[in-house]
Structure 1
């Protein structure tokens, strides 16, 4: 058994240390020939996708079973005695704070962990309601924006301390950076966030992405993680213009009436910024919960129609093949037609998405797959007498970016292995991939032999199933997707070898290019 105190300390690591520690654990498990049960395989897959807090005990048990000494080796550089500093914690008050040269020097010497906490505290103070209308210089705005983006710049931190001091003295608030939405973009950008980390940190990521120009923030819906709608409520209150969506829920885990009410409520809370993403759900998850899945096309079509009626009609009497409603109603209505996106892969679901949806979320990263998908979607759009130009064709990608292309691509290996293992032979052949290798990946994953599965992932698989590399390499692939009709590009897991670096590169190098 792993010591509970050790687990608690690992759960409370900084996000940067969590990323580094997670990467080392994944590398260790990849390199070792560790046999896993189906439950352990599932836990490991969740960990690879970025889930941390609730999964880390299970992953540590897997490592401990293979080599008890490995736990101490892997955790030793992350679990250290608490850092002691001469700077004593002081509650900021609306009185003068003497910021001296010695304090500047001490700030320069702070550890990265303490600097992160101090930045978070400063940004929190700057949003206090009693502080209003503080006039900022362009340099002060720039320094604050650097902190919001996650840059640990001592000079910017020192200058922002001075800004907060002045704000508190004058009892005025530091205004939020002005954010506007460009309606004429060639392509829009979204990001997938997984509510497995601390929600405060996830909300902070969402805020940074919005400031950096991200148009859509999609929250995954898995019962193993924190609730997506609680998460979206927090993000709605912390952001102002980015569209928010669940990407995606399904009609098996959540009843359509509950989904209709929750999404409509969130649309009001967010000032008309919600989107509903709905799809078939993860088959392995549903099977593990003994939920039978059948007639999914009919179920999705009827669910979407019933939800639309609940949003617009006073009393709903719906008689479908699978859905029956009698005198159903919501006591409130959204202020608009909330956009509905269908999660789709196969031709039939893609056609249905075009027919009944406002957009489609396609798990694909290569222009070949998305060009073909667009043709199926267009058939559905045409059958509903809609215009393809009004439809949001979204590429929900496996994405990884870094200044080091090799590290960026290597970070995708676990995700790509799972994608390849689940990919139909026809698509593998479309990319001229080794079908037998993909089948072997599937077998190894089924047996829990992750290291052998990951070893089979080569450059061809990474090219087919991810957008990864340096900023310029990623931009080249995004341009290819735009040219085949993609209108929204979603930065999906893993984002990069290091999340904070990835956020900076995405918001500073990728988004401004369009």
Structure 2
């Protein structure tokens, strides 16, 4: 059975501040989004601090942590937080998990297990804990749990995984309730869905049972040129951190991205932005323009099988105005023309 169309927005304390996350969540709810996600990276802005106020400040929208790592925060503590957020919100909380960055974890002297292993163990353990059970003896949860490992006031929670690599995506299909793959370019979602589907099939699950979000870079504004320039700036600044293999697999030129990154490092941001804008392919890492252009680009993804579009930074010259514009002019059309 085909899933209904889901639309979400990803916000961050870096852009809004911890207090501003509440206003961002209320804005997303009023704009008609189904979900709003706030990031929380070790050594990054404290997104997790705003989750409670985001949930208490809203009444309908689901609020997600995107994502927590089970290394710097123990799975037991994650299960406690998730259960508490579920109780206070009437089950509107979504738990996003990710492996975390080995580089950043190393800054704290942490030496965890391999990314896929630690993420899988966290999913399995947290599901048991939030259902009031001990993970002891449960396949895939790790062999270090005691039978007394139970939390008080457990409450089940949907578990999503922030995944990009094929092994992590396949594991997500086996164990998680949803996935948050960053799709650069947007068509990357098709490959992600194939890899998640392979894992789901091995576990006897159907893709319809999973909520797979196409996490997009989006820039929208009533001034379409300004929106495209903002996305170009975002791409320029991240051009050196993108996977070479992923670029090649999607027909993009790694050398073009490397040259753009060097321009940024040399302090010539304008030249880097112009490089992205004049490239025949680079701006295609995200979706950008006015409402009509964004609708057209999103429609192509939906027609090809995407059932959840997740809009993320840079959003627009004014992030709150961009979310409101998406809600007023884009979401109604997508739901009317492509919703089930």
Task: Check whether TM > 0.5.
Answer: yes
Contact 1:374/1:485 (<8 A) preserved: no
Q: 1:428 to 1:282 in 2, by over 3 A?
A: same
Does residue 331 of structure 1 match 2:152?
yes
Q: 1:229 to 1:471 in 2, by over 3 A?
A: same
Matches within 5 A, 1:137-286: 186-196=4-14, 197-286=16-105
Q: 1:323 to 1:479 in 2, by over 3 A?
A: farther
Deviations 1:386-425 (A, max 9, x none): 1112211101111110112211011112321344323333
Matches within 5 A, 1:494-513: 494-513=314-333
CA distance in 2, matches of 1:419, 1:402: 21
Contact 1:302/1:323 (<8 A) preserved: no
Matches within 5 A, 1:321-470: 324-326=144-146, 327-334=148-155, 337-442=156-261, 449=267, 451=269, 454=273, 456-458=275-277, 459-470=279-290
Give the C-alpha shift of residue 508 in structure 1: 0.2
Contact 1:412/1:462 (<8 A) preserved: no
CA distance in 2, matches of 1:223, 1:424: 21
Instruction: Select between 325-334 and 426-435 the one with higher mean Cα deviation.
Output: 426-435
Q: 1:366 to 1:482 in 2, by over 3 A?
A: farther
1:333 aligned counterpart, secondary structure = coil
CA distance in 2, matches of 1:255, 1:455: 45
Deviations 1:230-252 (A, max 9, x none): 31110111111111110111122
Contact 1:496/1:502 (<8 A) preserved: yes
CA distance in 1, matches of 2:97, 2:124: 12
Counterpart in 1 of 2:301? 481
| Number of aligned residues | 328
Q: 1:364 to 1:329 in 2, by over 3 A?
A: same
Give the C-alpha shift of residue 354 in structure 1: 0.8
Deviations 1:86-110 (A, max 9, x none): xxxxxxxxxxxxxxxxxxxxxxxxx
Q: CA RMSD in A?
A: 2.5
Q: 1:246 to 1:461 in 2, by over 3 A?
A: farther
Contact 2:230/2:316 (<8 A) preserved: yes
Q: 1:401 to 1:284 in 2, by over 3 A?
A: farther
TM-score by length of 2: 0.87
Q: 1:371 to 1:316 in 2, by over 3 A?
A: closer
Give the C-alpha shift of residue 286 in structure 1: 2.9
TM-score by length of 1: 0.59
Contact 1:420/1:461 (<8 A) preserved: no
**Which structure exhibits the higher relative contact order, with contacts defined as CA atoms closer than 8 Å and separated by 6 or more residues?**
2
Instruction: Select between 362-371 and 220-229 the one with higher mean Cα deviation.
Output: 220-229
Contact 1:416/1:461 (<8 A) preserved: no
Give the C-alpha shift of residue 288 in structure 1: 3.8
Contact 1:189/1:214 (<8 A) preserved: yes
Counterpart in 2 of 1:491? 311
4+ runs deviating over 6 angstroms = none
CA distance in 2, matches of 1:426, 1:353: 21
Which is higher, the Rg of structure 1 or of structure 2?
Answer: 1
Contact 1:280/1:296 (<8 A) preserved: yes
Matches within 5 A, 1:76-155: none
Which blocks of at least 5 consecutive residues in structure 1 are unaligned?
1-183
CA distance in 2, matches of 1:213, 1:365: 25
Instruction: Select between 285-294 and 314-323 the one with higher mean Cα deviation.
Output: 314-323
CA distance in 1, matches of 2:183, 2:201: 23
2:136 aligned counterpart, secondary structure = strand
Q: 1:407 to 1:185 in 2, by over 3 A?
A: farther
CA distance in 2, matches of 1:344, 1:395: 11
Q: 1:283 to 1:472 in 2, by over 3 A?
A: farther
Q: 1:323 to 1:192 in 2, by over 3 A?
A: farther
Q: 1:312 to 1:371 in 2, by over 3 A?
A: same
